[in-house]
Structure 1
Amino acid sequence: MAENSEPSYDDQQEIEELISSLPKRKGWHSSGLTLYQNFWYSSKFLPGVISFQRHFLARDSDVLIVSKPKSGTTWLKSLAFSALYRAQFNPSEANANHPLLYSNPHALVHFLEQKYRGQPAGQVPDLTGFANPRLFATHVPYDSLPESIHRSHCKVIYICRNPLDVVVSLWHFVAQVDAGDRAGGWSSMEEFFDNFCQGIDGYGPFWDHMLGYWKASQERPEKVLFLKYEDLKEDTAGNLKRISEFMGVPFSEEEERNGVVEEIVKMCSLSSLKELEVNKTGRSISSFEDKSYFRKGEVGDWVNYISPSMAERLKNIMEETLSPFGLTFRIN
């Protein structure tokens, strides 16, 4: 597909009128949530989603990381970046100049809807200057991705996580970021959980988000790689090799002998990233502090926060919506 290097422009008024006409619910930003194409989006971020959807031109060499929020996005970004660009940036401990040591993963792998949202009114970003292969990210559901992504041969890597852990991680994230902007938000974990179970949260319902990419990965395995956070935790090195091969940059036998895989795994671990000074201050995305992306990252931590009755409700939803399609999660 030919790329247009000239800036494109949205009909800003049309987008604003469209958003104003859509169903609304309260959310953890005071702007609330808006229902668009059967998914709930932060009203604050939706203009960027629509602009991205209308104007992004994919290249066949692009790699796109996708997730529902709080499913291991930051970790996957760091792993994919380190593997894809390892020829330019040696991941060895001796390399003190590796970008991950002085830049947050979200500053290195941009969310496309945020890039489009962050432009002057009506203007969209010119991404043609990015060298191949380009590595981007998004939270947008599969069916709502730009047509250029569906038509191209670009690669999509999707990561999901046990919804029980996702809802807890989301709640903690909500509790610590932009507390002053939560006037329209949920008042308690129980209320937040209830809305999550109804599918009313950012980029929800979670089951439709997961199933869109799950089905695509089965229909087009050369196009969509589907990962589970729990599997990545259990065998990070093995899955990193799988990710690299899928991106078209498999590790050589020499690299494996020299411990390159292990170097990347170590550098990108939550414990390593969390201790870096760059991840303790600043905002790679204007709405969120970088430190908010690093909490526990544990599998099964939900048992410390969710009551048995709440857990049973969510398990039943997972059984009804995901299991019929063969998508299951191990429950501790």
Structure 2
Amino acid sequence: MEKSDLTVVSDIAQFLEVEELSEECRELISSLPTEKCLLFGNLHQYRGFWHPTKILQTILTCQNQFEARDSDIYLVTLPKSGTTWLKAMAFALVNRTQYDPKSTQHPLLSYNPHQLVPFLEFPHNDVVSSTPRLFSTHLPFVSLPESVKKSGSKIVYLCRNPKDNFVSRFHWQNKLRRQELGSISLEEAFESFCRGVYIYGPIWDHALGYWKQSLENPERVLFLKYDEMKEDPGNHLRKLADFIGCPFSKEKESFNVVDQISELCSFDHLSNLEVNRTGKLPSGVINSNFFRRGEVGDWKNHLTPQMAQKLDEIIKQKLGASGLTF
């Protein structure tokens, strides 16, 4: 491991280090199922989902204090499901009248998308503000602040094939794990994934929560799939623009604005920008860590046929007759 990687691990560990928990959080934790996290510290099962201690504290604070606006837009993903890509696209869409996608001064050329779209459950240190407000979150629907649920805001959910999500998450975990703990084995990570015991997991319940909302309230919740967006980014960009209230006019279409935003936000373009090759977020994560491969079907290079079949069977069982498939 390079020295720079050691610094990142130290910064991440420090970022998630528990400082002082509220009495509410301490009492809650005492009543929750708790397991060791593969990265560091503990995970607590709150409302059916697993969260590190510090993140659980931030969730409670967010639930108690955050005030939603009807004009807000919330981008929801599980980690390693296209979060960075979705943030870039939404930011470019909402701000396209202020920032031309061809401009050499566009914020996406100078800032990582995570700096431009803050996480709902963490302090909002916006670098570039937007109107309407844009937030991202990994929270399951059940844990969103009530003000968000009761508002007229828009929710965009992006999910990824569980097998690809697992592989991407596996690599991510080993980049962040403390060196003295050694690497996480594929088998160990897979066992936790199949049990649903990992940060913000399990994937099937997370996706189902928003899938059901998209069926019941399609005007408020847009459900997208990573694989389908990779196959046809232009049409999905149009769908996203229509949903969040900034559709493309025929005039704009004639100037290839859709293609320009697609290119600006593409994996190849973002991953090769200087800010994303060398920059680092306040949490300690190096920006380049958000860009591994971004491919569909990479799981075939890592999972045995037996592992793939086992996960397929689990997902099929958990999703049942919901209509949601991967």
TM-score by length of 2: 0.89
List aligned pairs for 1:1-332, cutoff 5 A.
12-92=22-102, 95-115=103-123, 132-177=131-176, 179-180=177-178, 183=181, 187-329=184-326
Superposed displacement of residue 14, structure 1: 2.4
RMSD: 2.0
**Alpha-carbon distance change, 300 to 15 in structure 1, aligned in 2, over 3 angstroms:** same
Give the Cα separation in 1 of the matches to 2:190 and 2:273.
32
Assess if the C-alpha contact under 8 Å between 1:29 and 1:42 holds in 2: no
Superposed displacement of residue 287, structure 1: 4.3
**Alpha-carbon distance change, 101 to 20 in structure 1, aligned in 2, over 3 angstroms:** farther
Give the Cα separation in 2 of the matches to 1:191 and 1:154.
39
Q: Deviations over 1:273-305 (max 9, x none)?
A: 000111122332504221111011110110100
Superposed displacement of residue 322, structure 1: 1.6
The runs of 4+ residues in structure 1 deviating greater than 6 Å are none
**Alpha-carbon distance change, 182 to 114 in structure 1, aligned in 2, over 3 angstroms:** farther
Q: Which runs of 5+ in 2 are unaligned?
A: 1-19
Superposed displacement of residue 309, structure 1: 0.6
**Alpha-carbon distance change, 241 to 285 in structure 1, aligned in 2, over 3 angstroms:** farther
Match of 1:120 in 2: none
Give the Cα separation in 2 of the matches to 1:207 and 1:263.
34
Indicate the SS of the match to 1:298: coil
Q: Which runs of 5+ in 1 are unaligned?
A: 1-9, 117-124
Indicate the SS of the match to 1:136: strand
Give the Cα separation in 2 of the matches to 1:253 and 1:182.
57
Indicate the SS of the match to 1:325: coil
Assess if the C-alpha contact under 8 Å between 1:71 and 1:229 holds in 2: yes
Assess if the C-alpha contact under 8 Å between 2:38 and 2:184 holds in 1: no
Give the Cα separation in 2 of the matches to 1:90 and 1:78.
14
Give the Cα separation in 1 of the matches to 2:265 and 2:50.
31
One-letter identity of the residue aligned with 1:18:
L
What is the percentage of aligned positions where both structures have the same residue?
47
Superposed displacement of residue 181, structure 1: 7.0
**Alpha-carbon distance change, 21 to 323 in structure 1, aligned in 2, over 3 angstroms:** closer
One-letter identity of the residue aligned with 2:290:
Y
